[in-house]
Amino acid sequence: MSIVITNISKSYGKVKALDDISFEVKPGELFGLIGPDGAGKTTLFRILTTLLIADGGKATVAGYDVVKEYKSIRNHVGYMPGRFSLYQDLTVEENLNFFATIFGTTIEENYDLIRDIYMQIEPFKDRRAGKLSGGMKQKLALSCALIHKPKVLLLDEPTTGVDPVSRKEFWDMLKRLQEKDITILVSTPYMDEAALCDRIALVQDGGILQIDTPNAIVKHYPKPIFNVGANNMYRLIESLNGYEYRHSVFPFGEFVHYTDSRPDFDPVSLKRYLESQDLSEIHIEKTRATIEDTFMELAK
């Protein structure tokens, strides 16, 4: 196993940031921690990178214990924190050189690993890191986290606040790194990125709601789920929330995802109800659950 987390807990005063968490990440796996701010994702990353000591439990990364063998871990792990943490007043190239030197290597030695990513920012290698755009900062941070050829890559919300185009590029890069036998643990608040991982853990309030492959998680959604649309979104949501048989009502893009509490739900009865609420252009159609649906059902 590349990462083994056993009964890890951590509290800050009365707040339980992590509450008895256990899971494993296999070698070469792209594993996603999916959850909102405050779920405990960053705390877990800090424990795995030896920057924070857990109150209880054990963890190993690349075979090393996070407490007893913290120095070895630092040599074998690449870490990209959520907040941009490179030297803003060093240039792109100086930052990369700095991290290479600290880890006793050179840019040339491991250039293969970062070529795809670094090539995109190399034209700006003399620019100070603080002057880079968000997407370029992210690529530089990833290059710096990779320059010592780590076995395990830990990425804490690398795509938060990043636009959809740069996000897609970033995930393409992760897929290519995975082919080079690097194990990747990545966290994100974007549920659509979960589908790109081999396995995911849905996390909230310091606990794990579920761990599985994205497909299996979606397949286990407990109820038939329907897309409901009408002429007025606001009144549609209000009407659905006021319907006595509703189980869940969540806006999803142009439709509302609706589940019913009755085992023998007939969409015709819902259509009649919505018509009685003066809604028109009513559209009800069965749809497939997404990871976000599952997350919300589990978190309810």
Partner 1 sequence: MNNNIVIQVDKLTKEFGDFTAVNAISFEVSRGEIFGFLGANGAGKTTAMKMLIGISKPSSGEAQVAGYSVRTQAEVIKKNIGYMSQKFALYDDLTVRENIAFFGGIYGLSKEGIREKADRLIEELGLGAVSKSLVGSLPLGWKQKLAFSVSMLHDPKIVFLDEPTGGVDPITRRQFWEMIYKAANNGTTIFVTTHYMDEAEYCDRVSIMVEGKIEALDTPKRLKEQFKADSMNAVFLKLARNIE
List residues binding partner 1 (CB under 8 A). 35-39, 133-135, 157, 160-166, 168, 189-192, 204, 233-235, 237, 250-254, 292, 295-296, 299-300
CA-to-CA dists, residue 160 to 85, 139, 157, 225, angstroms: 15, 14, 6, 29
Sequence-ordered list of residues with C-beta below 8 angstroms from that of 109, at least 6 positions apart, any chain: 100
Q: Provide the minimum distance between the beta carbon of 276 and partner 1 in the complex, in angstroms, as a whole number.
A: 20
- Across the beta sheet with 225-229, the strand order is 246-252, 255-260, 225-229, 283-287
Q: Provide the minimum distance between the beta carbon of 44 and partner 1 in the complex, in angstroms, as a whole number.
A: 16
- Residue 14 or 71 having the CB closest to partner 1: 14
DSSP 8-state secondary structure symbol assigned to residue 91: B
Nearest one of 223, 255, 218, 219 to 240, comparing CA atoms: 255
- Residue 81 or 135 having the CB closest to partner 1: 135
Q: Provide the minimum distance between the beta carbon of 280 and partner 1 in the complex, in angstroms, as a whole number.
A: 16
Phi-psi region of 7 (alpha: psi -120 to 50; beta: other; left: phi over 0): left
Phi, psi angle pair for 214, to nearest 5°: -55, -40
Q: Provide the minimum distance between the beta carbon of 144 and partner 1 in the complex, in angstroms, as a whole number.
A: 20
**Where does residue 178 rank: exposed (0-12), middle (13-18), buried (19+ CB within 10 A)?**
middle
Give the whole-angstrom CA distance, residue 52 versus residue 140: 25
Q: Provide the minimum distance between the beta carbon of 173 and partner 1 in the complex, in angstroms, as a whole number.
A: 16
- Residue 147 or 289 having the CB closest to partner 1: 289
Q: Provide the minimum distance between the beta carbon of 203 and partner 1 in the complex, in angstroms, as a whole number.
A: 11
- Residue 7 or 204 having the CB closest to partner 1: 204
The β-bridge partners of 11 are: 16
Give the whole-angstrom CA distance, residue 22 versus residue 42: 16
Q: What is the largest CA-CA distance in the chain?
A: 73
Q: Provide the minimum distance between the beta carbon of 13 and partner 1 in the complex, in angstroms, as a whole number.
A: 10
- Residue 27 or 251 having the CB closest to partner 1: 251
Q: How far apart are the first and last CA of the chain?
A: 33
- Residue 37 or 89 having the CB closest to partner 1: 37
- Residue 73 or 202 having the CB closest to partner 1: 202
3-state SS class at 240: helix
Q: Provide the minimum distance between the beta carbon of 68 and partner 1 in the complex, in angstroms, as a whole number.
A: 34
- Residue 38 or 130 having the CB closest to partner 1: 38
Q: Which two tokens stand for residue 217?
A: 């998680």
DSSP 8-state secondary structure symbol assigned to residue 151: S
